[in-house]
Structure 1
Amino acid sequence: MASFFVGLWESIFTPGPTPTLLVTTNVTFAALQVVLAALLLATYSVHFLVLSGLCGGLWAAINWFARELKAHQLQEEEKARRALAARPSPALSPDDSETEVEAAKSTASLRRGPPGPAPSAKAAAVSSEVEPAEAQGELKLRTVQEVPSLSQGQKSGVSTEDEWEKVSENEKEK
């Protein structure tokens, strides 16, 4: 009995539905159904019938979800096995020990092709490297209008706060 509870505790921290957790869930829902049936017979209240229906629906949904999750895991494992079988193994001798970094460098050098002459300046200019973006628009200082209107006055070259101050001054004058 103690091993069951140890297995239950460990299954809580294991991803996916474990057999121990599923057994515990099914036993708990069965006990709840028995309690709800006893309460229904004791009180003849429709509430316990509704609760029993909800409990049964949840119980069925949890078991369905566990089956679907297990089927999905089996499909993923099969897909991984097929991918491993389809991928050619590198021809390494038993004494070779290549690290992941060395393997990545060798596959990158195979993609680039054989070493050749250094690229010219023209080829570097046409490369697909990230290029700096062109400036879309530059900030410009405002200029003073030659003939300012009476309501506007002179425009500020610094900020809009000056313009708001001039608007409020014009309001006070009126």
Structure 2
Amino acid sequence: MAPFFQGLWESIFTPGPTPTLLVATNATFAALQVILAALVFATYSLHFVVLSVLSASLWAAINWFARELKEHQLQEEEKARRALAARPPSATSADDSETEVEATKSTASLRKGPPGPASVARAVAASSEVEPAETQGELKLRVVEEVQSPSQGHKSGVSTEDEWEKVSENENEKDR
């Protein structure tokens, strides 16, 4: 039972529907349907019938989506295999920026299937080896010139609270 939960935990971080995740989803929906059926027979309530229909619809939609996604992935892999087989190994186009090592890695990853936690960890470790970009200059603070105009009135450079205090002072003077 422990390997199942470990696989379930790892499948959360793996893109796409994994077999472990689909088993857990189907088991959960089956348990929900059993509980809703028991509640329908215990209460004869129409609400539980509606909930059961909604739950069954969602269950069917999730399984349909998982099947469609799997078919799409198989089609994409087949297209990639055909494109790889159609391209001669010695011919490279001018637009192809992949090196021979990268091309070998990508074809190997196509054969293996979806990446596992170990390959993701290797990719993260490889990406952390990149050097940070150099700073190109220092930041300079701009000096704002205060220009008094009749429309602006007195401008406060400290905070908005000062402005509100001035507004309230002006209102107090008007009331007097």
Aligned length in residues: 96
State the superposition RMSD in angstroms: 2.0
Instruction: State how 1:145-156 maps to structure 2 within 5 Å.
Output: none
Q: In the TM superposition, what is the alpha-carbon distance from 1:44 to its structure 2 partner?
A: 0.6
Name the residue aligned to 2:99. Answer: 100
TM (norm. structure 2) is: 0.52
Name the SS for the 1:14 alignment partner: coil
Aligned to 1:65: 65
**Partner residue of 1:20?**
20
Give the letter aligned to residue 87 of structure 1: R
CA distance in 1, matches of 2:79, 2:16: 18
Correspondence 1:11-160 to 2 at 5 A: 11-90=11-90, 100=99
Q: Which residue of 2 aligns with 1:104?
A: none
**Deviation for aligned residue 1:37:** 0.5
Structure number with larger C-alpha Rg: 1
1:100 maps to amino acid: T
1:69-92 CA distance string (max 9 Å, x none): 00000000000000000001117x
Whole-Å Cα distance in 2 between the matches of residues 33 and 89 of structure 1?
55
Q: Where does the alignment leave 5 or more consecutive residues of structure 2 unmatched?
A: 92-97, 101-176
In the alignment, the residues of structure 2 paired with residue 64 and residue 75 of structure 1 have an alpha-carbon distance, to the nearest angstrom, of 17
Once residues 12 and 71 of structure 1 are traced to their aligned partners in structure 2, the CA distance between those partners, rounded to angstroms, is 21
Taking the aligned partners of 1:35 and 1:43, their CA distance within structure 2 comes to 12
Task: Encode CA deviations 1:52-101: one digit per residue, 9 max, x unaligned.
Answer: 0000000000000000000000000000000000001117xxxxxxx839
Larger RCO (CA under 8 A, 6+ residues apart): 2
Which residue of the partner structure matches residue 155 of structure 2? none
Q: What amino acid does structure 1 have at the position aligned with 2:33?
A: Q
| TM-score for both structures, normalised by structure 1 | 0.52
1:113-140 deviation per Cα after TM superposition (whole angstroms, max 9, x unaligned): xxxxxxxxxxxxxxxxxxxxxxxxxxxx
- Equivalent-residue separation in structure 2 for 1:2 and 1:57 (angstroms): 31
Structure 1 segments, 4+ long, off by >4 Å, are none
> Partners in 1 of 2:41 and 2:52 — Cα distance?
12
1:55 maps to a residue whose letter is: S
